[in-house]
Amino acid sequence: MSRLSIRWRLTLWNTAALAVLLLVVGLLVYGLLRHAMLEQIDRVLIEQFHELEHDLHSVEDPESRIRHWIEEFHEHVGALCVVYSDGVVVARTDQMAAQSVPDRPANATGESRFDSRRLPLIGRQRMLTRALDANGSRFDVVLMLPMDEVYKELRGLAAVLLTVLPISLLLAGGIGYALARRALAPVERIRQATDEITAEQLSRRLDVQNSGDELGRLAQTINAMIARLEQSFAEVRRFTADASHELRTPIAVIRAEAEVAMHQPPDAEEFQTLAGSILEECEHLTKLIDQLLMLSREDAGLVPLESQPIDLARLVADATEMMRPLAEAKQQTLTLDSCTTAVVTGDCDRLREVIYNLLDNAIKYTPSEDCIEVTVTEQSGMIAVAVRDTGIGIDADHLPRVFDRFYRVDKSRSREAGGTGLGLSIVQSIVWAHGGRVDIASTPGEGTTCTVLLPRSGSDPPT
């Protein structure tokens, strides 16, 4: 069944459902008709019995009167009758053979009892059995009407139903297949159109003919998925191009310095200068490769995070003291305003790297003799670490992209500062892994505030 196409499965399911419905309806019609015909026969038998019962109330010789009524029954309605008294047949229809006389009914009462029975020679009969008291005598009366016509009608109805059922199912199956094919035709068109979209054609979109139905919403969902894929491919291409550029630059510098050393034999001072330049570029290249490797491993989920209570206020204080000499070298004022305890759950080394990156950016892009302020506060169950500088700031057009990999607001300034364009990407990746978020606000010429928000932990950090 699972190997069949949806078109065939829909056809088979609909046909099976219709078959069950027709079978139920056919059985219901057959049963109702049978019940109605038996009820009609029973009504005739009851009427004949009541006529006999009414006539015998004032009769002195009930047996002779019963024989008269037996003949009347047979003449007018074709009913057969057998009357017992003390277990002996006292009267019966003359046209009825002796072999056809049923046995004396047991436990006959004043209540009418109906049953159907096949008797020798006369076939299936509908029988009414009831006790009758007449002039002090008790009689057991059995009235019978043939059921041949009833079963003939029922057999005709069954034949019609058995003929109509398969024909109806064949017609329904054909119509269902045609309707399923027509209904699924847009799905086939969507499949063909989607199959034609490759990595080089992600700008194409599916036609949405009716956005209100299921197929229209499916096409819209596929279009949205293709748009996300197009954006992801564009980011991958941009990332690859940026990474190639970033890697090519230090390699080019190293090559140029090496060529100079090979073609022009330098003196000791020049050789030391060239070696220092090469080592600097190698260091920059190593840092870039390490950061790229870390981001790739985080994207693949290969970097395990430790989970332990951390006093983030103490961690921020330690990181601030470690970065203070860099700020003092530029004659910058680095201040810290922290709450007493700020416990979060996470990886201490990774969170320390977040603080180092934020402070490093602030020191790099803040002019000499300006201020950098670090605060640790609690905000609605979250611990907020904010690094606020009075540097060059960031234009509003650049803010949405500052977390993109290799994105630089001012490429020349970042290159001079030794940045790789991956710092904020790493910060965001680590914070997201800890269930937090990073917010950034900036005003050109006035400074930038970068805020890291992490969920507060309910347990205490180790002492």
What CATH number did the domain enclosing 364 receive? 3.30.565.10
Closest among 234, 233, 209, 232 to 220, alpha carbons compared: 209
Q: Are residue 147 and residue 18 in the same domain, yes or no?
A: yes
Domain boundary among 129, 153, 177: 153
What is the residue-averaged pLDDT of the chain? 81
pLDDT above 50: residue 342: yes
Q: Is it the case that residue 243 has pLDDT exceeding 70?
A: no
Taking 90 as the threshold, does the pLDDT of residue 32 lie above it?
Answer: yes
Which strands, in side-by-side order, build the sheet including 333-338?
333-338, 371-379, 382-389, 447-455, 437-443
Shared domain check, 10 and 108: yes
For residue 161, tell me if it sits in a domain.
no
Range of the structural domain that residue 273 is part of: 235-299
| pLDDT over 80 at 184, yes or no | no
Per DSSP, helices labelled H in 56-147 are 62-77
Residue 25 lies in a domain: yes
245 and 381 inside one domain: no
Q: What is the pLDDT of residues 354-408, one digit of tens each?
A: 898 899 888 888 888 889 999 999 888 889 999 999 888 888 877 777 777 666 6
Cα–Cα distance measured from residue 339 to residue 262, given in angstroms and rounded to the nearest whole number: 59
Q: What is the pLDDT of residue 364?
A: 86
Same domain, 343 and 378: yes
Which of these three, 153, 168, 185, is where a domain ends? 153
Q: What is the dihedral of CA 315, 316, 321, 322, to 10 degrees?
A: 70
Domain end (from 253, 270, 299): 299
Asked whether the predicted pLDDT for residue 423 surpasses 80, the reply is: no
459: pLDDT confidence band, cut at 50, 70 and 90?
low
Retrieve residue 346's tokens: 């996470």
Is the domain of 321 the same as that of 434? Answer: yes
- Bridge partners (DSSP) listed for residue 92: 82
Q: What is the CA radius of gyration of the chain?
A: 50
* First-last CA distance in the chain: 64
Cα dihedral value 57, 61, 64, 69, nearest 10: -10
Tell me, yes or no, whether 119 lies in a domain. yes
Q: Is 113 domain-assigned?
A: yes
Does 142 lie in the same domain as 77?
yes
CB 257 within 8 A of CB 277: yes
Identity at 408, one-letter amino acid code: R
**What is the mean predicted confidence (pLDDT) over 160-183?**
87
- What is the predicted pLDDT for the residue at 29? 92
Residue 452, H or E segment: strand 447-455
Q: What is the distance between the alpha carbons of residues 5 and 25, in angstroms, rounded to a whole number?
A: 30
pLDDT tens track for 263-317: 666 566 666 776 777 777 777 677 667 766 666 666 656 566 778 898 888 999 9
Same domain, 437 and 384: yes
Tens of pLDDT, residues 139-160 = 888 999 998 888 889 899 999 9
Contact 330, 368 (CB under 8 A): yes
- Confidence band of 453 (pLDDT split at 50, 70, 90): very high
Residues 450 and 440: beta-carbon distance below 8 Å: yes
Residue 126 and residue 13 in one domain: yes
> Are 312 and 293 within one domain?
no
Instruction: For residue 331, report the phi and psi dihedrals to the nearest 5 degrees.
Output: 60, 35
Q: In which band, very low, low, confident or very high, does the pLDDT at 245 lie, cut at 50, 70 and 90?
A: low
Percent of the chain with pLDDT over 70: 83
pLDDT on residue 412: 47
Say if pTM beats, i.e. exceeds, 0.85. no
CATH code for position 22: 3.30.450.20
CA triplet 203, 204, 207: central angle to 5 degrees? 145
Number of H helices, E strands in the chain: 9, 12
In a domain, 163, yes or no: no
Do 52 and 147 belong to one domain?
yes
Looking up tokens 């299921």 gives 214
Element (H, E) at 374: strand 371-379
DSSP H or E segment with residue 363: helix 348-364
User: How confident is the model over 440-450, as pLDDT tens digits?
Assistant: 888 888 889 99
Residue 461 within a domain: no
Q: Give the total number of structural domains in the chain.
A: 3
Mapped onto helix, strand or coil, the DSSP state of residue 370 is coil
Query: 10-21 pLDDT, tens per residue?
Result: 888 888 998 999
In a domain, 281, yes or no: yes
Pairing of strands 88-92, 80-85: antiparallel
Amino acid at 29: V
Which single residue is written with the structure tokens 């305890």? 341
Residue 43 shares a structural domain with residue 103: yes
Predicted local confidence at residue 52, as pLDDT: 85
Q: Say how far apart CA 329 and CA 418 lie, in whole Å.
A: 16
Residue 108 falls inside a structural domain: yes
Closest CA to 41 of 72, 80, 75: 80
Alpha carbons 384 and 354: distance in angstroms, whole number: 13
Same domain, 256 and 288: yes
Domain containing residue 251: CATH number: 1.10.287.130
